[in-house]
Amino acid sequence: MFQLHCPHCGATREEEEFSYAGEAYIARPANPEEASDAEWGDYLFMRKNTRGWFWEQWQHTAGCRKVFVVKRHTASYQIAGSWTLAEGKAHYLKESEA
Amino acid sequence: MPNFQPYLQSPLVNFNLPAETVPADSSQQVRANELPLLGYIAIRGELADAAIAAAVSSVTGASVPAAGQFSTGDAGVLVWVSPDELLLVTRRAELAQRLAAFEAAFAGLFAHAVDNSGGLTCLSLSGSEHVTVLRHMGVYDFESLAVGQAVSTVLGKAGGTVLRLEDDGVFLIIRRSFADYLWLLLRKVCTPYRFAVAKLAESGSHPLLRLLDKQHAAPARKAVTA
Amino acid sequence: MSAYRVHRNSQRIDSQSPLKFTFDGKQMQGFAGDTLASALIANGVKLIGRSFKYGRPRGIIGHGSEEPNALIQLETGAYTVPDLKATQVELYHGLSATTTTGFPSLHFDLKGMAGTFARFMPPGFYYKTFMGPVKAAWPLYEKMIRMAAGYGRAPVEADPEYYDHLHHHVDVLVVGGGACGLWAATLAGRAGLKTLLVDEQNEAGGWMLSDASARIDGKPAMQWVNERLAELDSLGNVTVLRRTTAFALHEQNLVQALELCQDHLPIGSRNPGQPRQRLHKIRAHHVVLAAGAIERPLVYGNNDRPGVMTAAAGQTYLNRYGVAVGRNVLLMTHNDAAYDAARDLAEAGSRVTLIDTRLRGAADWRQQQAKQAGVELMLGYGIAQVHGKTAVSGAQLVQLDPFTNTVRGKGPRLSADSILSSGGLTSTVHLFCHNTGRPYWKEESLSFVVPDEGRQGISCAGAITGRWELSSALAQTHAATSAMLAGFGRSTHGDCPQGDEHEVAATRRLFRVPDGLAEGHGAKAFVDFQNDVSAADIHLAVRENYRSIEHVKRYTALGFGTDQGKLSNVNGFAIAAEALGKPISAVGTTTYRPAYTPVTFGALAGSHKADTFEPRRYTAMQASHLKRGALFETVGQWMRPWYFPQGKETMHQAVDRECLATRNSVGVMDASTLGKIDVKGPDAREFLNRIYSNAWSKLDPGKCRYGLMLDENGMVMDDGVTACIADDHFHMTTTTGGAARVLNWLERWHQTEWPELQVRFTSTTDHWSTTAVVGPKSRAVLQKLCSDIDLSAENFKFMDWREGTVAGVPAKVFRISFSGELAYEINVDACYGHYIWEQVMAAGDEFGITPYGTETMHVLRAEKGFIIVGQDTDGSMTPMDLAMGWAVGMKKPFSFLGKRSLSRSDTVRSDRKQLVGLYTEDPKVVLTEGAQILSTPDATPPAAMQGHVTSSYHSAFLGRSIAMAVLKGGSQRSGDTVYVWAQGKMHPAKVVSSVFVDQEGVRQHA
Ligand SMILES: [Zn+2]
């Protein structure tokens, strides 16, 4: 059980207050009807399942109900930080480019 | 049509707390009671939007509270819930007038008010061990909750919002359907302490207690348990 | 006073307070401050158990949580506790304990007598049994194992005692109340940090309680300890919890600790208003681990005989409890520290022979002290094997080679009533390692230890870092704590306490004392007593090619059990290393996992049991339901009326009556538990178009629509009716169990994918009380309560809603139906819920209005072919599978959630399981829900399964049974006969439409 910082509440709270909401920044295809079965299947089912630093979504279900992103190490459970979806995306994209 | 005589019942009606209520005294380590039948209005709108904040203030007479805090005004207590939600605790008798005032004030804005008065109730929790009792129930660092702060968190296996208006005690805002569970849990975790269902302070100036309406009190009922 | 009681100035027992207790029914006496173990030793009890595999007699070995043998059953009936270590049970007046092993009795043990059991269970027994050809013999083994295995009996009565949890948020948590822990807490306290110190023992002091000669800052160590405690007490920011074991350390310094609040009190004196045990959940910015170290024994022949103990135990029983473990003691050591035990025992009047495996022995001053006290020293010897069976009678010594761990020559045979050994200390590294930390092998300390510098958020202090001398342990603690304070931006107040500086001779690197024979040929030398693992067993495991220490552990059972290998692990690792020909550091340790010591279920449950095990949610009408005799079922935490039996009605009879009353006149159901979400904003309609499969663009205010919610995989995940309140405002309902899930679902899609849509979701589930008035007479009932709503069929149509007053209360009335009948759902502020229900009951009285519960609701909806998400669906059903293609707006411009998946090759297969109705050939047969469906009556395996029954009821209205099922290609199989295997029989059934009643919808449109 770790603690997470909710960027919307501006507070660090216990994990019990949050719900896990999956890998972050999986883009929904803009035109699903044009996606092939393979592409759609990739979007639906394929996840990075990273061992290491991982961008994931959490929802502050017992608090503000907002979804935000956390960069967490899936093996050591170290947390590098948490951001709103919009703020986090900039960091995420920068890392993806690097 | 017959002459209907509607009555209201608070979520904890089946515990018949009025029958159990005793005067508050200093020997009680934990005091609790229900503030029944208050009015609750969820206010939805981007709080950072100055026009929306101004509309809220104009209706409530309270400034928009910062994250994790509450403010007080003529209309009652205004609790921060999220960047786009506040909860106004108000007099039940003034519900319709408040809802109408919000509707008018929010005209042209992406903001609205939702009546949630049937869905919530409020508990008073005080006494020398009231923080310990919260620490028995939930993971939040209740020792750090300062006057003026409000926190929505987990109590047992339910949710709740805890407001500290004064050092001596806190108020809990909880959902109707979980009220029974939370009351039972509260009573259970109070086992080690001298507990009383204590009479609420008569305070015409208290931001929350003054919101209690007397005229709606439900007819006394026998306690019923499942 | 027994022959074993002595008086020591250091003793912590109160010899003025005798306590009576019974052990295996025998009356005994001890003193306040004793543990059960110390009192038993004082009473001359040696034999306390039989070993797991071989039935060998066993006695007390240790003095604390490391004890592997002395497992007892405490008390009886509801208060009984199994598998407690006698070394950890504080004695109280009237205590009753029994032994837990030995079959049929402790003193006459079949396993031990015949030795048959051992033959059955070599190392790797379970592997060999299940992997090998003897699998068939398992039932025989199982019978024997079950008869003989286990150490205690689980209580069968409800636990009458109170338990609770308490959460802490502190700056600093110090684990361990020995000298180092106390000093760390003192510095943290002086620096003004919110500090919590937990200590396992009934009083602080740690090893200082056992070591009567220790001094700190020039005064007796216990005096220094008491000064520290007084200072900590005086600081408002420090809390000290005694009898509190930190048993787990999780992510970000969440530490769980168990406080034994009343276990030390006689059961009759316990305060039922206080917890017996309290589970502390401590979130600490910083943790100081000062958990100390535990002495391990040496491994030698028959080292498990009752009367064999660790030297630390001997010293502790003497100095702390005033009990001499023997009058004729042999003490074997490979280090200096154990000389203190020998010295103290000799001082107390026991005859002590100290067998030092080192040729030169300890530092001179210790040798002198020992000799002065009367200890006889034998240098360069070891014990080859212990003599005696149910009690130690002596030992055979061998002369050791001074350089290699081999035997140089024979030694004398000595008599003894107690044999102690010291194989050095093992740091208590468990908590450091619970959460990814690993210990490292420190050769100079001969122990796996934790690093001096700790790790992020954790400081390590004292013996846990492998510092055995008090002076250096305190110096390291002072440095580590100062570093921690600097991290908090605080300064250190106070100078490092000074322990006496001693000269110490080198330890001999020895684990298994050689007996001159090849391993396995001499007397059994035990490593793990609780699991009967000998040195030879570890060698066997390695010979059988188990190379990883984790595998050796699982093969031999080394380190399992209630003691978790506290005495055995390092010896086991060292012996494995030798057998593998590797250094210990390369062998490493097994993984340390919580809990450090056992935790009761009562403490883990705390207040979360019985009526507060989980939330039971009630509607505003609960009192009404109870008054009318409802029985309840739990639906997503809600307590919903199940049915309302009258008189002696069975459920079947009650449901038949409720169904018929509703179809023929009027019934009433509490629908308040449905999830309700207020959806509002300029883009609300567009949002609904995206989140539901059907279209919402044309739904006018005043109208309702049934909606299907799909996941992105195209499968039905929830359903419900949504009403249009205004062009930008909707009242959504969800299933009872799905309310929270759906709200979070809406929020996630809105926030992550479509934040540009102006819409907000507010849960109003608890705000609205919903009374469903159902049946042909429902309009008549409402007409008696409602004057401002035109209820006529032409002006208030099916799937309309109206705002007005019902019985004088503002209400939203929805003309919707989950039964196929004319029906109205009255929504009011839940504070009026009870009032409205009672008004409806009164108004319906003349029509015989009948309250009904979930069972009748299920029958009525099944008769009409309405699905229940989660019962008729299982996350693999598309709308088409459910014959609900009408609820899919394929022409909507936005590709709603799940749409694309509906055209995947798998979802368009024609042989998918599809919803059908079934009529059994025998109308009286009500099929079992979940029953499998076959195409032919031949069930000979492998029979191809065609589907299964999802809903099945007796329909009183139809006078026969009905069932819903999912069947491969079901939509094309109408009229076919299928075969359902249920209740041990094959039942032919005809595939029919799943709408059994009123296919034209005449009733609901009435
Ligand atoms: Zn939040």
Is A43 a member of any domain?
no
Mean pLDDT, residues C978-998 taken together: 95
Per residue in B105-152, pLDDT tens? Answer: 999 999 999 999 999 999 999 999 999 999 999 999 999 999 999 999
Question: Which two three-digit tokens encode residue C994?
Answer: 């799943």
Residue B82 touches chain A, beta carbons under 8 Å = yes
Question: Which two three-digit tokens encode residue B52?
Answer: 């929306």
Is the distance from CB of C330 to CB of C418 less than 8 angstroms? yes
pLDDT of residue C205 exceeding 60: yes
Q: Are residues B123 and B204 in the same domain?
A: yes
Compute the distance between CA of residue B136 and CA of residue C243 in angstroms, rounded to an integer.
19
Q: Is C252 close to A65, i.e. CB distance below 8 A?
A: no
Q: Are residues B124 and B208 in the same domain?
A: yes
C224: helix, strand or coil: helix
Is A57 a member of any domain?
yes
* Sites in chain B below the pLDDT cut of 50: 217-226
Question: Which two three-digit tokens encode residue C23?
Answer: 């052990």
Q: How far is CA C499 from CA C357, C461, C472, in A?
A: 28, 15, 8
Chains that touch B (3 or more CB pairs under 8 A): A, C
Q: Are residues B92 and B133 in the same domain?
A: no
Question: Which two three-digit tokens encode residue C876?
Answer: 């693999």
The pLDDT, as a whole number, for residue B219 is: 47
Is the distance from CB of C172 to CB of C285 less than 8 angstroms? yes
The pLDDT, as a whole number, for residue A23 is: 96
Helix %, strand %, coil % for chain A, to 5? 30, 35, 40
Please give, rounded to a whole number of angstroms, the shortest distance from the CA of C617 to a CA of chain A: 17
Partners of B4 in beta bridges: none
- One-letter amino acid at C594 equals P
Residue B69 touches chain A, beta carbons under 8 Å = no
CA of A59 to the centre of ligand 1 (A): 8
Residue A31 touches chain C, beta carbons under 8 Å = yes
The pLDDT, as a whole number, for residue B220 is: 43
pLDDT of residue C492 exceeding 60: yes
CA of A67 to the centre of ligand 1 (A): 8
Question: Which two three-digit tokens encode residue C796?
Answer: 């208030």
Mutation target among C282, C621, C831 for the B interface, most CBs of B within 10 A: C831
Domain end marker among B66, B100, B118 = B118
CA of B177 to the centre of ligand 1 (A): 23
CA of B69 to the centre of ligand 1 (A): 13
For chain A, how big is the Rg over CA atoms in Å?
Answer: 15
Q: Are residues B98 and B149 in the same domain?
A: no
Q: Is C989 left (phi over 0), alpha (psi -120 to 50) or beta?
A: beta
Is the distance from CB of C877 to CB of C884 less than 8 angstroms? no
For residue B198, the domain's CATH number is 3.30.1360.120
Helix %, strand %, coil % for chain C, to 5? 25, 30, 45
Which of C91-95, C144-148, C323-327 has the lowest average pLDDT? Answer: C144-148
Chains that touch C (3 or more CB pairs under 8 A): A, B
**Residue in B closest to A64 by C-alpha:** B82
Please give, rounded to a whole number of angstroms, the shortest distance from the CA of C905 to a CA of chain A: 8
Number of residues that this document lists for chain C: 1006
Is the distance from CB of C466 to CB of C449 less than 8 angstroms? yes
Compute the distance between CA of residue C488 and CA of residue C192 in angstroms, rounded to an integer.
10
At residue C288, φ and ψ (nearest 5 deg) are -105, 115
CA of A61 to the centre of ligand 1 (A): 8
CA of A62 to the centre of ligand 1 (A): 8
For chain C, how big is the Rg over CA atoms in Å?
Answer: 37
Q: Are residues B108 and B203 in the same domain?
A: no
For chain C positions 624-653, those within 8 Å of chain B (CB to CB) are: 626-627, 632, 638-639
Which domain, by its residues, includes A57?
A: 3-26+53-97
| CA distance between the termini of chain C | 95
Q: Which residue has the tokens 């919307």?
A: A8
Which domain, by its residues, includes B149?
A: 13-37+119-212
Mean pLDDT, residues C829-858 taken together: 98
Is B3 a member of any domain?
no
Is B1 a member of any domain?
no
Cis bond leading into C595, ω under 30°? yes
Q: Is B94 left (phi over 0), alpha (psi -120 to 50) or beta?
A: alpha
DSSP for C330-394, please give it. Answer: EEEESSSTTHHHHHHHHHTT-EEEEEESSSS-S-HHHHHHHHHHTPEEEETEEEEEEE-SSS--E
Compute the distance between CA of residue C452 and CA of residue C432 in angstroms, rounded to an integer.
12
Compute the distance between CA of residue C401 and CA of residue C404 in angstroms, rounded to an integer.
6
Is B144 a member of any domain?
yes
The beta strands (E) that lie in C181-237 are given as: 195-198, 215-216, 219-220
Number of H helices, E strands in chain B: 5, 11
Q: Which residue has the tokens 């049929």?
A: C104
Compute the distance between CA of residue B9 and CA of residue B92 in angstroms, rounded to an integer.
13
Per residue in C432-451, pLDDT tens? Answer: 999 989 999 999 999 999 99
Compute the distance between CA of residue C201 and CA of residue C243 in angstroms, rounded to an integer.
5
Number of residues that this document lists for chain B: 226
Is A62 a member of any domain?
yes
Compute the distance between CA of residue C665 and CA of residue C779 in angstroms, rounded to an integer.
10
Which of B97-106, C93-102, C511-520, C899-908 has the lowest average pLDDT? Answer: C93-102
Is the distance from CB of A6 to CB of A19 less than 8 angstroms? no
Any idea what DSSP says for residue B211? G
Compute the distance between CA of residue C54 and CA of residue C124 in angstroms, rounded to an integer.
15
Number of A/B CB contacts below 8 angstroms equals 38
pLDDT of residue C114 exceeding 60: no
Compute the distance between CA of residue C532 and CA of residue C110 in angstroms, rounded to an integer.
16
The pLDDT, as a whole number, for residue C309 is: 98
Q: Please list, in sequence order, all residues whose beta carbon lies within 8 angstroms of the beta carbon of residue C790, skipping any fewer than 6 positions away.
A: C796, C802
CA of C249 to the centre of ligand 1 (A): 26
Mean pLDDT, residues C385-403 taken together: 96
Q: Which residue has the tokens 């979400």?
A: C677
Q: Is B67 close to A13, i.e. CB distance below 8 A?
A: no
For the purposes of burial, counting CB atoms within 10 Å of the CB of C582, is it exposed (0-12), middle (13-18) or buried (19 or more)?
Answer: middle
- Angle, helices B176-189 vs B130-137, to 10°: value is 110
Residue B83 touches chain A, beta carbons under 8 Å = yes
Q: Are residues B77 and B18 in the same domain?
A: no
The pLDDT, as a whole number, for residue C100 is: 86
Q: Is B67 close to A17, i.e. CB distance below 8 A?
A: no
Q: Which residue, C73, C97, C84, C88, is CA-closest to C20?
A: C97
Q: Please list, in sequence order, all residues whose beta carbon lies within 8 angstroms of the beta carbon of residue C905, skipping any fewer than 6 positions away.
A: A37
At residue C769, φ and ψ (nearest 5 deg) are -100, 135
For residue B103, the domain's CATH number is 3.30.70.1520
Is A71 a member of any domain?
yes
Please give, rounded to a whole number of angstroms, the shortest distance from the CA of B94 to a CA of chain A: 27
Mutation target among C434, C713, C752, C891 for the A interface, most CBs of A within 10 A: C752
Q: Is B153 close to A13, i.e. CB distance below 8 A?
A: yes
**Which of chain C's residues have a Cβ under 8 Å away from the Cβ of B136?**
164-167, 607
Is A59 a member of any domain?
yes
Residue C603 touches chain B, beta carbons under 8 Å = no
Is B222 a member of any domain?
no
Domains belonging to chain C, first-starting first, are: 4-113 (3.10.20.440), 163-290+427-487 (3.50.50.60), 622-673+767-852 (3.30.1360.120), 675-763 (3.30.70.1400), 908-992 (2.40.30.110)
**Which of chain B's residues have a Cβ under 8 Å away from the Cβ of A8?**
67, 82-83
For the purposes of burial, counting CB atoms within 10 Å of the CB of C26, is it exposed (0-12), middle (13-18) or buried (19 or more)?
Answer: exposed
Mean pLDDT, residues C506-521 taken together: 96
Is the distance from CB of C871 to CB of B36 less than 8 angstroms? no
Please give, rounded to a whole number of angstroms, the shortest distance from the CA of A66 to a CA of chain C: 8
Q: Are residues B65 and B26 in the same domain?
A: no
Residue B159 touches chain A, beta carbons under 8 Å = yes
Is B5 a member of any domain?
no
Is the distance from CB of B208 to CB of B165 less than 8 angstroms? yes
Is A45 a member of any domain?
no
Domain end marker among B103, B118, B133 = B118
The pLDDT, as a whole number, for residue B225 is: 41
Per residue in A49-84, pLDDT tens? Answer: 999 999 999 999 999 999 999 999 999 899 999 999
Per residue in C713-746, pLDDT tens? Answer: 999 999 999 999 999 999 999 999 999 999 999 9
Mean pLDDT, residues C590-609 taken together: 96
Total domain count, chain B: 2
Sign of the four-CA dihedral A42, A46, A47, A48: negative
Q: Is C899 close to A44, i.e. CB distance below 8 A?
A: no
Burial B170-203 (b: 16+ CB within 10 A, else e): bbbbbbbbbbbbbbbbbbbbbbbbebbbbebeee
The beta strands (E) that lie in chain A are given as: 3-6, 11-14, 19-23, 53-59, 67-73, 79-84
The pLDDT, as a whole number, for residue C52 is: 81
Please give, rounded to a whole number of angstroms, the shortest distance from the CA of B28 to a CA of chain C: 15
Total domain count, chain A: 1
Beta-carbon count within 10 A of C269 CB: 10
For residue A74, the domain's CATH number is 3.30.2270.10
Is A31 a member of any domain?
no
Nearest to C808 among B4, B182, B226 (CB): B4
Is A38 a member of any domain?
no
Is the distance from CB of A27 to CB of A67 less than 8 angstroms? no
pLDDT of residue C799 exceeding 70: yes
Is B2 a member of any domain?
no
Is the distance from CB of C951 to CB of C858 less than 8 angstroms? yes
Is the distance from CB of C356 to CB of C384 less than 8 angstroms? no
Q: Are residues B72 and B138 in the same domain?
A: no
Is B218 a member of any domain?
no
Is B219 a member of any domain?
no
Q: Are residues B123 and B208 in the same domain?
A: yes
Compute the distance between CA of residue C739 and CA of residue C356 in angstroms, rounded to an integer.
72
The beta strands (E) that lie in chain B are given as: 30-35, 39-45, 70-73, 76-82, 85-90, 111-115, 120-126, 150-155, 158-166, 169-175, 195-197
Average pLDDT, chain C: 95
Question: Which two three-digit tokens encode residue C528?
Answer: 């793990």
Q: Which long-range contacts does C269-274 make (Cβ < 8 Å, 24+ apart)?
A: C269/C92, C270/C161, C272/C160, C272/C161, C272/C162, C273/B191, C273/B192, C273/C162, C274/B191, C274/B192, C274/C162
pLDDT of residue A35 exceeding 80: yes
Q: Is A35 close to C900, i.e. CB distance below 8 A?
A: yes
Mean pLDDT, residues C243-270 taken together: 97
Partners of C534 in beta bridges: C526
